[in-house]
Amino acid sequence: MSGRIASLYRYPVKGFTPERQEAVILTEGGYFPCDRLFAVENGPSGFDPDAPVFIPKTRFTVLAQIPKVAQARTAYDEETGVLQVVANDQAPFSGSLLTDEGRGGFTDWLTAFLDPDDIRGPLKVLAAPPHRFTDSSKGFVSVVNLASVADLGAKLGRHLDPLRFRANLYVEGWPAWSELEQPEGAHVRLGPVITEVLKPIVRCVATHVDPDSGARDIEIVPALRDLYGHLYCGLYLNVIQGGRVCEGDPAELV
């Protein structure tokens, strides 16, 4: 089944603003470029930068825990490490996440921005390259089928912004939910890149949050369960042959 890549997104700081990309280079066995490089610890998380391992997203400032995070608009410059943040009724922030000063400045800004009840302890920016703060230990590259999102929205009688699902790649042209018919190890071609299916993505309450307003307005998880009998939307992929992927490139379920 053939479709095309409609859009590409990275999320440099876990839980914060998606950044659209025209093209990226995917490498064999690698993560999506500049994706989930940083996370903000919400109180002591137990994460050790010297021995980084996967830990649950509930220990970070993420939409599943703090919907207001969506109201902070971030933009990251990977060459300089500078993060810029704006939000209504608060002075903007700009500082490098590659320095202690910049990280401290961002957590100070965030502490002032968030509601006190959302903060469980001192906030701290974490990074331990090449470790990535993905929602799954197999979250190398994520893809969502736009037809599946549209089908869910039609059944709910609501337009659903696909960015609720915070994927790296959004594909159009595949039949709704056809991606879930692909077994583990099946190949998915993305332009010149060949990937294999690792597993479907189990959705959480982060999808309940409107990515523009930061309001919890649609209960996506119960809807998936009640309408389809599962909690999936999207796939995690592993790159087995790398290359440059662009918006508009073909996307084929092999």
Domain limits, CATH 2.40.33.20, in the chain:
2-32+136-253
Residue 61 backbone class (left: φ over 0; alpha: ψ -120 to 50; beta: rest): beta
Residues in a beta bridge with 96: 82
Question: Looking at residue 1, what is its pLDDT?
Answer: 84
Q: Which two tokens stand for residue 88?
A: 């209504």
Q: What is the assigned CATH class of domain 2-32+136-253? A: mainly beta
| Cβ contact 233:203 at 8 Å | yes
Cα separation, 165 vs 208, whole angstroms: 9
Sign of the four-CA dihedral 250, 32, 45, 214: negative
Q: How far is CA 105 from CA 100, 200, 246, in A?
A: 8, 37, 35
Helix, strand, coil share (%) of the chain residues, nearest 5? 20, 35, 45
| Cβ contact 230:177 at 8 Å | no
pTM: 0.95
Cα separation, 51 vs 56, whole angstroms: 16
pLDDT by residue, tens only, the chain of 254 residues: 899 999 999 999 999 999 999 999 999 999 999 999 999 999 999 999 999 999 999 999 999 999 999 999 999 999 999 999 999 989 999 999 999 999 999 999 999 999 999 999 999 999 999 999 999 888 899 999 999 999 999 999 999 999 999 999 999 999 999 999 999 999 999 999 999 999 999 999 999 999 999 999 999 999 999 999 999 999 999 999 999 999 999 999 98
Question: Looking at residue 138, what is its pLDDT?
Answer: 84
Residues in a beta bridge with 94: 84
Q: Residue 213, SS3? A: coil
Which residue carries 């583990």 as its tokens?
Answer: 184
List, in order, residues 6 or more apart from 69 with CB less than 8 Å away. Answer: 15, 16, 61, 62, 63, 114, 214
| CB neighbours of residue 189 within 10 Å | 16
